[in-house]
């Protein structure tokens, strides 16, 4: 079983890919903020996803949206994942995100 097979078995990946395609097809785009998003306290996972979408729009990914399920933020040109970890993110997590972005 190769790396592509392990990504295909990830059921959350289907949701992320569908959301990415939806964002790419979306004609609605949020205005690109002229200043940095404000600092806010993150109380739950959804707060982190919405703030991550704001931060993606800030440098120009105007179509960035938080997916309805999971901790993904997608645009037509980029994908991000919001995670709560108490240690630095390791290579396997980055490789999984890269695999989702390549789909």
Q: Write out pLDDT tens, residues 73-102.
A: 888 888 888 877 777 888 988 888 777 767
User: Do 33 and 54 touch, CB atoms closer than 8 A?
Assistant: yes
Grouping H, G, I as helix, E, B as strand and the rest as coil, residue 72 is strand
Per-residue pLDDT of 17-67, as tens digits, reads 666 666 666 545 555 567 888 888 888 888 888 889 999 999 889 889 988
**CB contact at 8 A, 18 and 42:** no
User: Which single residue is written with the structure tokens 């290579």?
Assistant: 91
Q: Is the pTM of this model over 0.85?
A: no
At 12, which helix (H) or strand (E)?
helix 11-25
């Amino acid at each position: 079983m190769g790396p592509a097979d392990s990504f295909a078995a990830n059921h959350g990946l289907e949701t992320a890919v569908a959301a990415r395609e939806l964002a790419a097809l979306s004609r609605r785009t949020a205005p690109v903020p002229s200043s940095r998003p404000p600092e806010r306290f993150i109380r739950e996972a959804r707060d982190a996803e919405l703030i991550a979408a704001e931060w993606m729009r800030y440098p120009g990914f105007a179509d960035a949206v938080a997916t309805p399920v999971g901790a993904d933020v997608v645009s037509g040109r980029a994908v991000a994942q919001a995670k709560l970890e108490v240690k630095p993110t390791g290579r396997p997590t980055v490789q999984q995100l890269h695999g989702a972005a390549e789909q």
